[in-house]
Amino acid sequence: MNGSTLQAFAAECAEELPGAQLEHPFGPDWEVFKVRGKVFMLMTSVPGKPVVILKSEPGEAEALRETHTDITPGYHMNKKHWITLEAGDSIGEKLVEELVTESYRLVVGNLPRSNQPVEPETHGTHARAARR
């Protein structure tokens, strides 16, 4: 998957999530997707290479970095809780969709229950189970 395809597909996945909003708080070079005011995905170019930055469980983030050469610690983010996806052969649509959804679920899970647009424990699990 090339860089522009990676970002376009990640944005498409994010836009389908309930309550997701695209903002540009850091200028036109940064696309920031939020749910209820909390960031779950960022997209920019680092230096000139399109990237997608997502929240991840620390253990999962470490495992992803070890198994995918195109996944690195989160650019300008907490390296333990965020990952950066770059274009490359180890990144496919299914993985991107799962990582975007998981990042969203992690953020939603930290919102007050009354402010959660979905049930974070189950959102997206039915679609994944159907694809397997």
Angle between helix axes 3-15 and 93-109 (nearest 10 degrees) is 40
CA distance 89 to 62: 19
Output the domain CATH number for residue 105: 3.90.1150.30
Task: Answer whether residue 130 is part of any domain.
Answer: no
Single-letter amino acid code for the residue at 101: T
In the structure encoding, which two tokens stand for residue 33, read together? 């997707």
- Domain hosting residue 97, numbered range: 3-125
Q: Say if 35 falls within a structural domain.
A: yes
- Which of 30-34, 70-74, 94-98, 108-112 shows the lowest per-residue confidence on average (mean pLDDT)? 108-112
Q: Which residues pair with 39 in a beta bridge?
A: 34
Q: Which residue has the tokens 């959660």?
A: 116
Does residue 102 lie within any of the structural domains? yes
Domain presence at residue 121? yes
Report the domain count for the chain.
Answer: 1
Asked whether residue 131 is assigned to any structural domain, the reply reads: no
What are the tens digits of pLDDT across the range 54-102? 999 999 999 999 999 999 998 888 788 999 999 999 899 999 999 999 9
Q: Please report the pLDDT score of residue 105 as a whole number.
A: 92
The answer to whether residue 132 sits within a structural domain is no
Say yes or no to pLDDT of 47 above 90.
no
Q: What is the DSSP letter of 76?
A: T
Please provide the distance, in angstroms rounded to a whole number, between the alpha carbons at the two ends of the chain: 21
Residue 17: pLDDT band by 50, 70, 90 thresholds?
very high
Q: Give the model's pLDDT for residue 109.
A: 87
